[in-house]
Amino acid sequence: MLTGRNVVLGVSGGVAAYKAAYLARRLVERGADVRVVMTESAAEFVGPATFAAITGVHPVVDLFDDEDVSPHTTLARWADLIVVAPATASTLSKIAHGDASNALVATVVASTAPVVVAPAMHTEMWEHPATGENIQTLRGFGYTLVEPDAGDLAGGDVGVGRLASPDDIADVVQDALIGGDLTATSVVITAGGTREPIDPVRYIGNRSSGKMGNALAVEAARRGADVTLVTTAPAPNHPGITVVPVETADEMADAVWHIADETQIAIMAAAVADFRPADPETRKLVRSDGPPDLVLEPTPDVLAGFRERAPEATLVGFAAQVGDLSGVEDKAERKRVDLLVANDVSRPGTGFGSDDNEVTLVFHDGVTKALPIMSKRDVAKVVIDTVVELRS
């Protein structure tokens, strides 16, 4: 937990400021000593007395309205970590450019402590190029970003920009201070669906979006792992994730097998094609030539090849079923995995491209554990928790 750790909570002026009070409470419950620094705009949304009651110390709101002649440097030296939540577009910009014109930004700029930033704003502001550049600047500083969620926003809007949950932010703070349970562990994760070319334009593929693999990569990186994400899909931007873009099963196999002997955990979440055209055309096929005769051949078994090269690594496989999950226990034994994650991709709302999933965990001894429908991010947490337990 966070007993004996000093955390400065920076609160900037957005509607989500009320959630910062919950975050302060969560940090205090974990044992942290919490001090709050607020912008004047934040005080319009949540009164300083609220934070004083939670933390036992009155927040710093103004650089010149405090008994301390230099409150920002005092907080900066005191902090083991600074978390800014919510971080508005304005605050992100000020921090990125060193504009220490308010107490919150002055504290961040004056400190050498680790910084966690949890943005919250309307979707259009989050997606604006200036915000993107500021985020990249903060990443370059070594700051940890807690990505905003999608959901209901102020004014009745819906989209990306909602502040992450206080519990999730508290998890990131805790991991940043005491290290996650996968610190310095090498993890390779595969994601997305492979594309096997028919000609330079067309391919044999599947509907996998890569969302499950991305969620696993982010969760593993959040917990301190050195993650290599081998993917055919757009990847998350995270300082703990090295992305290796691939397209075909051959390319995925080469990338995974190349680092197998230095990998401690492998999670094969990609939907790899079982077959590919044996002789893809080098020119684009045209309708006037008539339908082609496709001769298929097997693709390499990425998971089996990894196990051969890394027999001691912890190996997790995924099984995308259609209909019932019969036979998955045999598959887990045949594939020599430590854990198999099986799901029915034909179920509405939990298959390819969905934000949710409903999976069954199959252990190497045949024991199964069915999980309820939950977000893929929550599935990732359960899978990583299970991997940590298996390794211990």
Asked if 169 and 197 sit in the same domain, the reply is: no
Asked if 28 and 153 sit in the same domain, the reply is: yes
Q: Confirm whether 134 is a catalytic residue.
A: no
Contacts (Cβ under 8 Å, ≥6 apart) of 392: none
Identify which of 270, 371, 375, 378 has the alpha carbon closest to the alpha carbon of residue 316: 270
The C-alpha atoms of residue 167 and residue 183 are separated, in whole angstroms, by 20
**314-321 and 359-363: which strand pairing?**
unpaired
Identify which of 248, 242, 249 has the alpha carbon closest to the alpha carbon of residue 220: 242
Asked if 153 and 214 sit in the same domain, the reply is: no
Look up the pTM and report it: 0.68
Of 47-56, 85-94, 159-168, 349-358, least confident by mean pLDDT is: 349-358
Dump pLDDT digits (tens) for 242-261: 999 999 999 999 999 999 99
Question: For the chain, what is the domain count?
Answer: 2
The one catalytic residue in 206, 214, 237, 343 is 206
Q: What angle do CA 194, 149, 266 make, to 5 degrees?
A: 40
Asked if 113 and 222 sit in the same domain, the reply is: no
Residue 160's pLDDT is what? 79
Q: Which domain holds residue 44?
A: 6-178
Average pLDDT, the chain: 92
Please give the sequence-ordered ranges of beta strands (E in DSSP) within 88-202, or none if there are none: 115-119, 144-145, 149-152, 158-162, 186-191, 196-197
Last residue in a domain, options 148, 178, 208: 178
Determine phi and psi for 266, rounding to 5 degrees.
-125, 130
Q: At what angle do helices 48-55 and 17-29 cross, to 10 degrees?
A: 10
- Confidence grade of residue 155 (pLDDT, cut at 50, 70, 90): low
3-class DSSP assignment, residue 339: strand
Asked if 225 and 265 sit in the same domain, the reply is: yes
Asked if 147 and 202 sit in the same domain, the reply is: no
178 or 51, greater pLDDT: 51
Asked if 263 and 358 sit in the same domain, the reply is: yes
Last residue in a domain, options 128, 144, 178: 178
